[in-house]
Structure 1
Amino acid sequence: MPIADHAAVLTDEDAALIDRYFLAANYLSVGQIYLMANPLLREPLAAEQVKPRLLGHWGTTPGLNFIYAHLNRIIRERDADVLYVCGPGHGGPGMVANTWLEGSYSEIYPSIPQDAEGMGKLFRQFSFPGGIPSHAAPETPGSIHEGGELGYALVHAYGAAFDNPDLVVACVVGDGESETGPLAASWHGNVFLNPVHDGAVLPILHLNGYKIANPTIFGRMDDADLAKLFEGFGYRPIFVVIDASDDRIAAHKAMAAACDAAFDEIRAIQRDAREAGHAGMPRWPMIVMRSPKGWTGPKEVDGKRVEGFWRAHQVPIDAARTDEGHRALLEQWMRGYKPEELFDEDGALVPELRALAPQGDKRMGSTPFANGGRLRAELRRPDWRDFAPTAKVHGQEQGEATKAAGRYLAELIRLNADRRNFRIMGPDETNSNRLQAVFEQTDRVWQEPIESYDEDLATDGRVMEVLSEHLCQGWLEGYTLTGRHGLFNCYEAFVHIVDSMFNQHAKWLKVSRDLDWRRPVSSFNYLLSSHVWRQDHNGFSHQDPGFIDHVVNKKADIVRVYLPPDANTLLRTLDHCLGTYDRINVIVAGKQPAPQWLSADAAEYHCAAGLGVWTWAGNQEAGGEPDVVMACAGDVPTMETMAAVDLLRQHLPELKVRVVNVVDLMTLQPRSDHPHGIADADFDALFTTDKPVIFAYHGYPHLIHRLTYNRTNHRNLHVHGFMEEGTTTTPFDMVVRNELDRFHLAIDAIDRVPGLAVRAVEAKQHFRNGLIEHHRYVTTHGEDLPDIAGWSWPYAGATEEGRD
């Protein structure tokens, strides 16, 4: 929709006031980048008043300030709730400037008041040691999106809008960011946005033509082609085109008309859906705004073009401290904003401009939607024991862990249906990961046409499936950061696609935890299934457990990794994670039928401890020392360890074996390194100080060594795990190829126990023969030996003995 279709809504006087507010924000933005003293330029600018290290991004900032000023008007006149998502997050000086102008900043940080002293502190702290980052970081009021890594603004915006029916998320997408893959996919968020129950996203594509040192693709496309592109995506683009030589009053009028048109259309869409019951996927408005990069800044520096060119991207005048000519140019630039007309004698914004900002929580720097812990309500969680398999006998019953989790999640969805504060995200894998029970309570959300033969699709659902891990991750980040809860289920190998998004979210949570004014938000929960050991049918491309390694690089107080060995431990772990906050929880669990080891009561004790001895599995005397510790973490490693123990008990009954199972991987670290770590004395009691430990681990073996390197018995720790050997083969052949199978584990135990190899020659040969027979059988029949595929723990015993 061209902007010419809308009448101007501002008088010249109103436009002039908004322009002065815009200039005040620009002045503050430039000051943050350059000055460490003399904030109001009430004396000639001296070299020592310019920062020695000039850091920041000017080029995108004027456009962000321009948009912010116009959203302020919309909020005031319509009493709207607006969340500002700043895609060009490196335009951080603009976000800080605007939140200071509206008063939010000083309320949160009283040491930086709205006066000359506060302005000086505001300037000095920016990108300065001991100060604040240059991006719209957690320290920035009103922000849920840093933008340091481009690509995620729009997906965060949609995540924030889901289940927030009265919220409009104004999302500024930079034209550099628009070239990224995640952003390109994010335009499809409109397919999942329900106008009845969700809020709205107003994308504002900010085209200033250049990224760091090159033109941008969208910046060089003409308006007609851009209109066709976004109409094809299902949007109605409204164009605002600003030239540096244009009258700024006219630019403000054009932007005001565009904003009014967009908000009118949003409310009309929602009214038609909510009151008239109109169905179908609406065509949501968006704004395409062209403005010069570095608008209102210097035209040229040293005879080279700056405004409207890539040289405006960061610091356009780069030697203002050491070069007198550059310093004079900086002073001329800043005085050109006429700060004496914008700020009073005390350094506060003049009254007529202060009146342009919204009040209270309507201010974009104070909105509770950007501090989601203020809105967070605890989930109503069912008793997970109601969904627990009976597991009356250790390891002799089969069960599917994630199928049990699906039944638990279905009930959780039912219990929270009225609150609309929980969603499941995943890349088209809810059924594949055996969580299909959730469809007894909800559907997949979908706004495009639904055919009569489609299954589990509806315009209103709690499950969001799209074949983009980036969108699932970003949606859930936006959803939890604005006060809600959720779960991201994914194939283990392909969660790597969001490695860098995980990084950014972990950093956000780490910083937020240290800010008293940031209220706790719900944890980000991953459920990784279809894991490395049961991707035998898909092959090597689907076999990678390395996400865990990536996760544990983050601060200990943020990350948790859980490897439940059966359905009951998964249920208890999942229930625990959904009740936590300010964490990232990674749960890895299988979906295939597997032995069920623990009753619900035993699982409760075991998971609370995080690891423990399975006394019923070993054969050491009570209170005695074992000859060998067989340790395991993960469902398949646990099964193979138990099968190895079975072999040792059959062939070497005199060997004293202790079995230790680990659910919470972080317990292996010392308590000084992680809150869940166990004390050295407890670690020594479990793993001994001098006996061999054969550790079967779900992932890459080196991680276990890394977590335990300074434990007393580390020298005797021998880890089996994924050795980057994989193919399309049988489940047991996968573990054999990586020497995680029962035969290799039993052989290693024999080799590591001093003096045992001589006495156990026949047993060792028997185990080797088992490997030979396996190879012969699997390559002949294409399936595992019946004795392998049908193995179960052969030793009967009740599971109710408590802390086993």
Structure 2
Amino acid sequence: MQNVPASQTAIPDIELALIDRYWRAANYLSVGQIYLLDNPLLKQPLKPEHIKPRLLGHWGTTPGLNFIYAHLNRVIKVRDLDMIYVCGPGHGGPGMVANTWLEGSYSEIYPDISENAAGMQKLFKQFSFPGGVPSHVAPETPGSIHEGGELGYALVHAFGAAFDNPELVVACVVGDGEAETGPLAASWHSSKFLNAKRDGAVLPILHLNGYKIASPTLLARMGDEELESLFRGYGYEPFFVEGHEPAAMHRKMAETFDLAFNAIQLIQQAARDGTASTERPRWPMIILRSPKGWTGPKEVDGRKVEDFFRAHQVPVSNCRDNDRHREILETWMRSYDPADLFDDDGALRPELKALAPEGTKRMGSNPHANGGLLRKELRQPPISDYAVPVEAGKRGAITAQATKILGDYLRDTLMLNDEAKNFRIFGPDETESNRLGSVFEVTDRVWMEEIRPYDVQLGREGRVMEVLSEHLCQGWLEGYLLTGRHGFFSCYEAFIHIVDSMFNQHAKWMKVTRRLGWRKPVSSLTYLLTSHVWRQDHNGFSHQDPGFVDMVANKKSDVVRIYFPPDANTLVWVGDHCLATYDRINVIVAGKQPEAQWLSMQEAEAHCRAGAGIWDWAGSEDGGEPDLVMASAGDVPTLEMMAAVQLLRDAIPDLRIRVVNVVDLMALQSQDQHPHGLSEPDFDALFTTDRPVIFAYHGYPQLIHRLTYKRNNHGNFHVHGFIEEGTTTTPFDMTVLNELDRYHLALNAIDRVPGLKARSGDLVAMLEARLDEHFHYVREHGEDMPEIRDWRWRN
């Protein structure tokens, strides 16, 4: 166990005394935010009207966060470091707001929250108050890249920020409640992907204050020996700082920080001057044991508060109506001696103000925490270099693997940005499986563990981040994007659900930042969902779920985009477009198997820009009003829709069919719902106002109905998609099980066109016979019928 002797570093007592006063100032401001509407400097005895009517916020973790912040300020100044602070404890907002106000960052961004008593009063009132700021560390908080409302992602965000940022140090506080979550437990492995030569450093600080909302935390009840073994097993060198008495704790913390930052400096220096060993370095981390609700009331109403779960939120809960509670609050706040911390006008005293770093060295003003300030445009190759040749008379006659071609595009994007080192590809162990393996022609997977002679595509300098944790991939990418870089995330469609909640949090962050003028745009988070539901026939029902996009579609329209490119050229255009966007979340769904190719690159560009369009060459309306609209969104649905169109055209030559393909799913919404939405006249020009629409859709049919419910012709939409039928079977049988196949589509069309069924008895019988034949054929032969496997569109 790394217990640090007090005499190891000679830090003057007077300096530690100043840090203690700064800490008290932060604690005072934190309590004031939770409780006070007025009387910020306590120049009067507290009265009921000075207290907020609803007390919201969390005190328990805050004094520890303030303690860490004050000591990091010293380290930044002494060592001239570039540092950001990632606050993991969920509702540490009072502390982060307090510290950024003390250092001046807050008032620079929000001038009305001035550095005086009037500003302090506004600072207090706005916290967890209507029209104010949240109780957690939110986008509104200067210096933050991490939404504190949900636990589990602080450490992975910190590492994402450190990748390719060689001069940056990320101090990351992990709460002991947060440490119980699965994503955080996996996040400790992130150090195994950190290259000391080209990346920055992360200093994890595990804050053990003993309790979560209403019970003890697991790690806090573990002994030091067991904790040391745990974190040495993770690959860290743990240093312990433990105690209750502030003076002793200040000295321990300062000395331990010096040891930790010395260790970081030695690791980086050895890596960068070529003297490092081939073994992965053992990075330092700190385990801080301090009381929950430190320096707050020890008891309230005869019940233990400090160093117990009752300190978690609001320790004294009825200060407006209960005189005794109000007296406890006033005694508590006066214990910090505000007159020793602030002058008569409420400004922080000069000797304390001098403790904070200056300019962009302040953690609330570091540009890495406002990544758009550092973002440079991604260099992208011309998409014409990747065009699949599709001639008008040979549509659907050739096949290609769309994601393989996108992989070629990503390979060249990596090369173009090699010098800038600002683009990485993230995903589980699927880059090769998803047919993006071309990227390994120019880079490797990041690998800081042992590399054996027979290993392939592993390297210290790799640009591909692979780990079998979707949580880590998502969190790394978020941290990477929020600090000004670019990235791309590919994943099996069914398992992207693992990060549903992380997606939600990032979408909320993006929504809020759009109204914060000081937050500059960051690169969009772009997903490629492949190995999708219709080509997971071999893996079975567990791998068959297209529902991620349903959740995405719930988010604010100015944030999300959803694309279903039907072939390789449209996929390359969409991928290129998405990587150039900012402040959005893009979801692209495309298969990796060989598929028919429909559009030339020039046609693909026009089609994608429009979002949806009529494929005149596929229909039979001959310039007149159609009897029927056959529509699709998705590669396999488009294939089946096209096959159904051909069946109907062959059997019923006088049937006027319009063929519509949708590549941008949000085009289906009205313009008042989404900026990509088609106007009412444009929508009607595609789907008519009164004709039946048979819509073959990649996912759950209900989403198409949700998106189009306000449209004129919505009542005539008949959507086929995934209806939760799946198993291990053949590709075509997957579509049949879900009635997305060409035969069911054609049968539905016959049902919906008035009068058509009465004169199409032979065709109906033939289609039903084909379905019966298919059923028996696949169960006897284990593969699809030749007429399915060999089908091609006839031009």
Give TM-score, length-normalised by structure 2: 0.99
Paired position in structure 2 for 1:716: 716
Over residues 31-60 of structure 1, what are the superposed CA-to-partner deviations in whole Å (9 max), with x where a residue is unaligned? 000000000000010001100000000000
- Give matches, 1:453-532, under 5 Å: 453-532=454-533
Separation (CA, whole Å) in 2 of partners of 1:773 and 1:267: 71
Structure 1 residue 163 corresponds to structure 2 residue 164: yes
Deviation at 1:4, TM superposition (A): 2.2
Separation (CA, whole Å) in 1 of partners of 2:260 and 2:83: 13
Paired position in structure 2 for 1:265: 263
- Give matches, 1:618-637, under 5 Å: 618-622=619-623, 624-637=624-637
Give the counterpart letter for 1:261 in structure 2.
L
Give TM-score, length-normalised by structure 1: 0.98
Moved more, 275-284 or 362-371: 275-284
Deviation at 1:66, TM superposition (A): 0.2
Paired position in structure 2 for 1:388: 387
Instruction: Work out whether residues 4 and 240 of structure 2, in 8 Å CA contact, stay in contact via their aligned partners in 1.
Output: no
Paired position in structure 1 for 2:308: 309
Instruction: Work out whether residues 37 and 50 of structure 1, in 8 Å CA contact, stay in contact via their aligned partners in 2.
Output: yes
Separation (CA, whole Å) in 2 of partners of 1:202 and 1:4: 17
Tell me the secondary structure at the aligned position of residue 4 of structure 1. Answer: coil
Paired position in structure 2 for 1:348: 347
- Give matches, 1:561-572, under 5 Å: 561-572=562-573
Separation (CA, whole Å) in 1 of partners of 2:710 and 2:274: 67
Deviation at 1:277, TM superposition (A): 4.1
Give the counterpart letter for 1:324 in structure 2.
D
Separation (CA, whole Å) in 2 of partners of 1:666 and 1:188: 38
Paired position in structure 2 for 1:197: 198
Over residues 599-648 of structure 1, what are the superposed CA-to-partner deviations in whole Å (9 max), with x where a residue is unaligned? 000000000101000000001112x1111000000000000000000101
Over residues 757-802 of structure 1, what are the superposed CA-to-partner deviations in whole Å (9 max), with x where a residue is unaligned? 011111111111111111111111000001101111111xxxxxxx
Paired position in structure 1 for 2:789: 789
Tell me the secondary structure at the aligned position of residue 92 of structure 2. Answer: helix
Instruction: Work out whether residues 9 and 256 of structure 1, in 8 Å CA contact, stay in contact via their aligned partners in 2.
Output: no
Unaligned runs of 5+ in 1: 796-804
Paired position in structure 1 for 2:333: 334
Paired position in structure 2 for 1:252: 250
Paired position in structure 2 for 1:801: none
Separation (CA, whole Å) in 2 of partners of 1:480 and 1:656: 49
Tell me the secondary structure at the aligned position of residue 570 of structure 2. Answer: helix
Paired position in structure 2 for 1:774: 774
Instruction: Work out whether residues 630 and 658 of structure 1, in 8 Å CA contact, stay in contact via their aligned partners in 2.
Output: yes
Instruction: Work out whether residues 230 and 236 of structure 1, in 8 Å CA contact, stay in contact via their aligned partners in 2.
Output: yes
Over residues 680-709 of structure 1, what are the superposed CA-to-partner deviations in whole Å (9 max), with x where a residue is unaligned? 111111100110000000000000000001
Q: Cα 1:7–1:661, aligned 2, differ >3 Å: closer, same or farther?
A: same
Over residues 237-257 of structure 1, what are the superposed CA-to-partner deviations in whole Å (9 max), with x where a residue is unaligned? 0000022xx2x2221110001
Structure 1 residue 657 corresponds to structure 2 residue 657: yes
Separation (CA, whole Å) in 2 of partners of 1:418 and 1:3: 43
- Give matches, 1:730-769, under 5 Å: 730-769=730-769
Give the counterpart letter for 1:729 in structure 2.
T
Moved more, 4-13 or 71-80: 4-13
Paired position in structure 1 for 2:357: 358
Paired position in structure 2 for 1:534: 535
When the two structures are aligned, how many residues end up with a matched partner?
791
Tell me the secondary structure at the aligned position of residue 270 of structure 2. Answer: helix
- Give matches, 1:593-612, under 5 Å: 593-612=594-613
Paired position in structure 1 for 2:443: 442
Tell me the secondary structure at the aligned position of residue 253 of structure 1. Answer: helix
Over residues 413-446 of structure 1, what are the superposed CA-to-partner deviations in whole Å (9 max), with x where a residue is unaligned? 0000000101111110001100000000100001
Instruction: Work out whether residues 695 and 720 of structure 1, in 8 Å CA contact, stay in contact via their aligned partners in 2.
Output: yes
Deviation at 1:8, TM superposition (A): 2.9
Instruction: Work out whether residues 3 and 254 of structure 1, in 8 Å CA contact, stay in contact via their aligned partners in 2.
Output: no
Paired position in structure 2 for 1:641: 641
RMSD across aligned positions (CA) = 0.7
Instruction: Work out whether residues 9 and 253 of structure 1, in 8 Å CA contact, stay in contact via their aligned partners in 2.
Output: no
Paired position in structure 1 for 2:688: 688
Over residues 295-320 of structure 1, what are the superposed CA-to-partner deviations in whole Å (9 max), with x where a residue is unaligned? 00000000000000000000000000
Give the counterpart letter for 2:473 in structure 1.
C
Deviation at 1:710, TM superposition (A): 1.1
Paired position in structure 1 for 2:408: 407
Give the counterpart letter for 1:163 in structure 2.
D
Tell me the secondary structure at the aligned position of residue 288 of structure 2. Answer: strand
Give the counterpart letter for 1:2 in structure 2.
Q
Paired position in structure 1 for 2:123: 122
Over residues 731-776 of structure 1, what are the superposed CA-to-partner deviations in whole Å (9 max), with x where a residue is unaligned? 0000000000000001111110000001111111111111111111
Give the counterpart letter for 1:616 in structure 2.
W
Paired position in structure 1 for 2:97: 96
Instruction: Work out whether residues 370 and 481 of structure 1, in 8 Å CA contact, stay in contact via their aligned partners in 2.
Output: yes
Instruction: Work out whether residues 425 and 487 of structure 2, in 8 Å CA contact, stay in contact via their aligned partners in 1.
Output: yes
Instruction: Work out whether residues 533 and 543 of structure 2, in 8 Å CA contact, stay in contact via their aligned partners in 1.
Output: yes
Separation (CA, whole Å) in 2 of partners of 1:768 and 1:655: 20
Over residues 199-250 of structure 1, what are the superposed CA-to-partner deviations in whole Å (9 max), with x where a residue is unaligned? 011000000000000000100001111001100110000000022xx2x222
- Percent of matched pairs sharing the same residue: 68
Q: Cα 1:664–1:277, aligned 2, differ >3 Å: closer, same or farther?
A: farther
Unaligned runs of 5+ in 2: none
Separation (CA, whole Å) in 1 of partners of 2:440 and 2:147: 35
Paired position in structure 2 for 1:800: none
Tell me the secondary structure at the aligned position of residue 590 of structure 1. Answer: coil
Separation (CA, whole Å) in 2 of partners of 1:355 and 1:276: 38
Separation (CA, whole Å) in 1 of partners of 2:422 and 2:294: 41
Tell me the secondary structure at the aligned position of residue 455 of structure 2. Answer: coil
